[in-house]
């Protein structure tokens, strides 16, 4: 479990990248499209007068959080140009 946590944290260091960036970037695009589609669908249904038992603020906030987290995390972990500096390299 600790090895997996260390490996996950290592992905956030500059110069490290997931094994198959194309797969993860595709998932990133899919998540963005699905989240946007759900948000637009809910707002469209509301525009036609149907009530959904969730407030507009909750829907908006959820969409923004999902998009920010997924896009932020996957952007950093699928490129070797972004990320946290490697502390071991900067100390030497």
Mean pLDDT of the chain: 84
**pTM for the model:** 0.70
Please indicate, yes or no, if residue 50 is contained in any of the structural domains.
Answer: yes
Number of domains in the chain: 1
Work out the percent of the chain whose per-residue pLDDT is above 90. Answer: 27
Q: Answer whether residue 89 is part of any domain.
A: no
Q: Which domain holds residue 43?
A: 2-82
Residue 30 lies in a domain: yes
87 in a structural domain: no
Three-class SS string for 7-54? HHHHCCECCCCCCCHHHHHHHHHHHHHHHHHHHHHHHHHHHCCCCCCC
The verdict on residue 73 lying in a domain is: yes
The answer to whether residue 26 sits within a structural domain is yes
Classify residue 60: in a domain, yes or no: yes
Q: Going residue by residue through the chain, which has 92 residues, state the pLDDT in tens, using 9 for 90 and above.
A: 788 777 777 777 777 778 888 998 999 999 999 999 999 999 899 999 998 888 889 988 998 999 999 888 888 888 887 777 776 665 55
Q: What is the pLDDT of residue 75?
A: 85
Does residue 90 lie within any of the structural domains? no
């Amino acid at each position: 479990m600790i090895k997996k946590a260390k490996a996950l944290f290592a992905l956030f260091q500059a110069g490290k990248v997931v094994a198959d960036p194309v797969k993860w970037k595709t998932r990133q695009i899919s998540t963005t499209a699905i989240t946007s589609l759900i948000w637009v669908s809910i707002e469209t249904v509301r525009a036609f007068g149907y009530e959904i038992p969730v407030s507009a603020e909750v829907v908006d906030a959820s969409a923004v959080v999902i998009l920010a987290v997924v896009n932020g995390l996957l952007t950093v972990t699928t490129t070797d140009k972004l990320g946290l500096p490697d502390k071991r390299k900067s100390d030497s």
